[in-house]
């Protein structure tokens, strides 16, 4: 792998950042110089760490702000647009990328190859490429990187113990770009050191974590903190000891508090032993049921990280009510860049509309940070699909400013990465999420995927298992009744959303079967029956995927990107046809209703 491999959108900066540059200000000067921008850089400690402003020919900024300002000046020059005026600073202090890398080199839900920094149960990386990673993250305003899987497996526990010096050396590679290291930790780790319990109220446990925190910050002074997944998918946690998640999180938070560290506590908790026969239990209710009684009990340096929707990164979900219900707790919203349920970085699915829609109508007041599960890997182009880079780019831009227009973000990436094909590529990518939704999860249907792999159609794949991921399609109807007369889930929302979602007449079509169980002859607002809408959407999605492929073939893309993109587009077209035929046949067999247009549905 060449040391000078560049993210496509930074191709205007031909030289890699030299290793001898160790501060954001030094990197800013270097980047501006090679971009041909004659601006003086002045770091001003009086400004907040990440703020910047351009005054005449002088770029003023905080410690990392000067670098963010430099990259904005470079973008403005390349895109031929004005530089923002006044003081610029990010909306969120923490803009995090969570990597699910395992130390054996595998990446859970990784679709871009093996880990960039682990192999053979040890650190294994090219330092130049890690600096390029730091550069790439800083260029779009991201500032925290968690490098290990939230499902912590041996020997990842050693990252804060025996491997701590190596962890510190890795953190030093990111420091010139203002990127702070975070690590996932195993809640039960004290038990590996002769302590017979991980009870958060046990003084021995508290002392062990305090000692570890002290050792970490001595070697990594800008360390951000711990990411924790507890009591979920068989991970250890405070429930084992009859303690609440507030008690568990606060124990860790008090260990890191002397160093101004944070504990990011994932709210991914649900009853994974749900019985499919019991219609009263509803998995989307679990997070709010668990955390609302704890609102106000978490220490201020605990950030409760909540998935953007109540399920698990489906192509379409409503906003998680947990984020709207917690008014006394610091929260972070978590998205997924890794296309686990959105095409495995094979199918095109630009996620900027997902990020934007989350903030479009309601901006939850308690959110202090924003996170995304990484789509990075060791593949030559970092992302598997060369166009999947747009998702990291757009996430960074919208994490910095949630009001950014998603199409504008996609267009910026396309113009910086593929200027000769930018407009056509912007059109394809801007529509790609809607196309993927049409042929997979139309009307809010979720989980019709192959189990475990989560790629390709399987309408019965999760229908009778323990995960609570049901659509309950029968011969007469489909969907879950989540109104007050059903599971009651809708009651977790504020009154205005209860009213919007609770009535099929006002519920957005995109979420109709998420909130309601409807007969196939239900008449939609556009006059079509529900079953006809299902047929039409799946036919339309496959047809649009074919049209996208034709547009892509005509674009003047450089090699090897062109060959890779076309190869994956062929797979997407086949995948879209398979989704169309499997799902339409499934509902045709159940309902017995023919397609009104006489198109082919298989029996």
* Three-class DSSP labels, 464-505: CCCCCCCCCCCCCEECCCCCCCCCCHHHHCCHHHHHHHHCCC
Is the CB of residue 57 less than 8 Å from the CB of residue 16?
no
Q: Is 60 left (phi over 0), alpha (psi -120 to 50) or beta?
A: beta
Domains of the chain: 8-79 (no CATH), 94-272+290-417 (3.20.20.80), 442-479+517-591 (3.90.1330.10)
Specify the pairing of strand 40-43 against strand 331-336: unpaired
Q: Rounded to whole angstroms, how far apart are CA atoms 121 and 98? A: 19
Q: Rounded to whole angstroms, how far apart are CA atoms 427 and 431? A: 6
Q: Rounded to whole angstroms, how far apart are CA atoms 387 and 345? A: 9
Q: Rounded to whole angstroms, how far apart are CA atoms 303 and 299? A: 9
* 233: annotated active-site residue: yes
* 126: annotated active-site residue: no
CA end-to-end span of the chain: 50
Give the phi and the psi of residue 396 in degrees, each rounded to 5. -60, -45
Is the CB of residue 224 less than 8 Å from the CB of residue 243?
no
Buried b (16+ CB within 10 A) or exposed e, 550-574: eebeebebeeebbebbeebbeebbe
Q: Which one of the listed residues 72, 78, 340, 404 is annotated catalytic? A: 340
Neighbours of 90 (CB within 10 A): 22
Q: Rounded to whole angstroms, how far apart are CA atoms 374 and 353? A: 18
What's the alpha-carbon Rg for the chain, to the nearest Å? 24
Q: Is 49 left (phi over 0), alpha (psi -120 to 50) or beta?
A: alpha
Q: Rounded to whole angstroms, how far apart are CA atoms 174 and 196? A: 37
H or E stretch including 211? helix 203-219
Give the phi and the psi of residue 572 in degrees, each rounded to 5. -65, -45
User: Which value, to the nearest 10 degrees, does the dihedral of the CA atoms of residues 57, 62, 68, 74 take?
Assistant: 10
Is the CB of residue 488 less than 8 Å from the CB of residue 500?
no
Q: Which one of the listed residues 4, 233, 405, 423 is annotated catalytic? A: 233
Question: What integer pLDDT is reported at residue 253 of this predicted model?
Answer: 98
Question: What integer pLDDT is reported at residue 272 of this predicted model?
Answer: 64
Question: What integer pLDDT is reported at residue 329 of this predicted model?
Answer: 96
Question: What integer pLDDT is reported at residue 234 of this predicted model?
Answer: 76
By C-alpha distance, which of 254, 471, 434, 460 is closest to 353? 434
**Coil, strand or helix at 265:** strand
Mean pLDDT by 10 residues, the chain (603 residues): 67 93 98 97 93 96 98 97 94 97 98 98 97 97 98 95 98 98 97 96 98 98 97 86 96 98 90 82 92 97 97 96 95 98 98 93 81 97 97 98 96 97 98 98 95 96 91 96 96 96 97 98 97 98 98 97 98 98 98 98 93
Q: Which one of the listed residues 312, 317, 334, 437 is annotated catalytic? A: 312
Token look-up 């993109």 returns 565
What pLDDT digit, counting tens, does each position of 477-510 carry? 999 999 999 999 999 999 999 999 999 999 999 9
User: In this structure, what token pair is assigned to residue 505?
Assistant: 């007449």
Question: What integer pLDDT is reported at residue 364 of this predicted model?
Answer: 67
What secondary structure letter does DSSP report for 101? B
Give the phi and the psi of residue 121 in degrees, each rounded to 5. 65, 35
User: In this structure, what token pair is assigned to residue 493?
Assistant: 């929302």
**Coil, strand or helix at 507:** coil
As beta bridge partners, residue 241 has: none
**Coil, strand or helix at 302:** strand
* 20: annotated active-site residue: no
**Coil, strand or helix at 46:** coil
Is the CB of residue 42 less than 8 Å from the CB of residue 51?
no
Question: What integer pLDDT is reported at residue 7 of this predicted model?
Answer: 81
Q: Rounded to whole angstroms, how far apart are CA atoms 430 and 395? A: 14
Q: Rounded to whole angstroms, how far apart are CA atoms 118 and 317? A: 33
Distances (CA, A) of 100 to 16, 68, 136, 151, 543: 26, 26, 19, 8, 35
Specify the pairing of strand 225-228 against strand 180-184: parallel
Question: What integer pLDDT is reported at residue 271 of this predicted model?
Answer: 58
Distances (CA, A) of 30 to 62, 73, 131, 139: 17, 13, 14, 13
**Coil, strand or helix at 506:** coil
Is the CB of residue 484 less than 8 Å from the CB of residue 491?
yes
Question: What integer pLDDT is reported at residue 3 of this predicted model?
Answer: 43
């Amino acid at each position: 792998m060449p040391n000078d491999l560049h993210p496509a959108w930074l191709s205007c900066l031909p030289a890699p950042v030299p290793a001898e540059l160790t501060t954001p200000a030094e990197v800013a000067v270097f980047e501006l110089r090679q971009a041909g921008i004659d601006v003086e850089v002045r770091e001003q400690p009086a400004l907040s760490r990440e703020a910047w402003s351009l005054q005449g020919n002088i770029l003023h900024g905080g410690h990392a702000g000067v670098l963010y300002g430099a990259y904005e000046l470079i973008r403005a020059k390349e895109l031929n647009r004005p530089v923002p005026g006044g003081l610029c600073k990010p909306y969120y202090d923490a803009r995090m990328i969570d990597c699910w890398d395992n130390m054996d080199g595998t990446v859970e839900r990784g679709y871009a190859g093996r880990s960039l920094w682990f192999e053979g149960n040890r650190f294994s990386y090219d330092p130049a490429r890690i600096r390029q990673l730091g550069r790439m993250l800083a260029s779009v305003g991201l500032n925290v990187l968690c490098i290990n899987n939230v499902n912590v497996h041996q020997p990842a526990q050693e990252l804060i113990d025996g491997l701590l010096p190596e962890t510190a050396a890795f953190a030093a590679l990111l420091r010139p770009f203002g990127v702070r290291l975070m690590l996932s930790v195993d809640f039960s780790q004290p038990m590996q050191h002769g302590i017979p319990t991980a009870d958060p109220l046990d003084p021995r446990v508290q002392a062990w974590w305090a000692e570890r925190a002290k050792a970490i910050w001595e070697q990594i002074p800008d360390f951000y903190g711990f990411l924790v997944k507890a009591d979920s998918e068989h991970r250890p946690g405070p429930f084992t000891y009859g303690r609440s998640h507030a008690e568990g999180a606060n124990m860790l938070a008090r260990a890191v508090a002397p160093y101004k560290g944070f504990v990011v506590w994932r709210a991914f908790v649900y009853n994974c032993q749900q019985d499919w026969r019991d219609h009263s239990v509803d998995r989307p209710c679990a997070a709010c049921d668990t955390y609302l009684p704890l609102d106000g009990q978490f220490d201020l340096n605990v950030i409760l990280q909540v998935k953007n929707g109540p399920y698990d990164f489906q192509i379409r979900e409503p906003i998680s009510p947990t984020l709207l219900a917690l008014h006394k707790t610091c929260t972070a919203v978590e998205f997924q860049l890794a296309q686990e349920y959105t095409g495995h970085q094979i199918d095109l699915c630009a996620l900027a509309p997902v990020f934007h829609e989350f903030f479009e109508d309601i901006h939850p007041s308690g959110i202090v940070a924003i996170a995304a599960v990484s789509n990075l890997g060791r593949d030559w182009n970092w992302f598997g699909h060369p166009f999947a880079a747009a998702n990291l780019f757009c996430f960074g831009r919208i994490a910095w400013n949630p009001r950014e227009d998603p199409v504008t973000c996609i267009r910026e990436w396309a113009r910086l990465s593929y200027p000769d094909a930018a407009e056509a590529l912007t059109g394809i990518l801007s529509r790609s999420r809607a196309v993927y939704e049409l042929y997979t999860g139309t009307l809010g249907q979720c989980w019709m995927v192959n189990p475990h792999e989560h790629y390709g159609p399987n309408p019965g794949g999760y229908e009778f298992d323990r995960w609570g991921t049901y659509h309950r399609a029968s011969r007469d109807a489909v969907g879950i009744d989540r109104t007050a007369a059903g599971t009651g889930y809708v009651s977790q929302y504020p009154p205005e959303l209860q009213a919007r979602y609770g009535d099929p007449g006002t519920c957005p079509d995109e979420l109709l079967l998420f909130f309601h169980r409807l007969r196939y002859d239900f008449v939609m607002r556009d006059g079509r029956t529900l079953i006809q809408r299902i047929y039409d959407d799946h036919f339309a999605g496959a047809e649009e995927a074919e049209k996208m492929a034709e547009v892509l073939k005509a674009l003047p893309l450089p090699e090897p990107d062109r060959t890779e993109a076309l190869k994956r587009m062929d797979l997407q077209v086949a995948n879209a046809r398979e989704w169309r035929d499997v799902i339409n046949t499934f509902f045709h067999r159940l309902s017995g209703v023919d397609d009104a247009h006489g198109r082919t549905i298989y029996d």
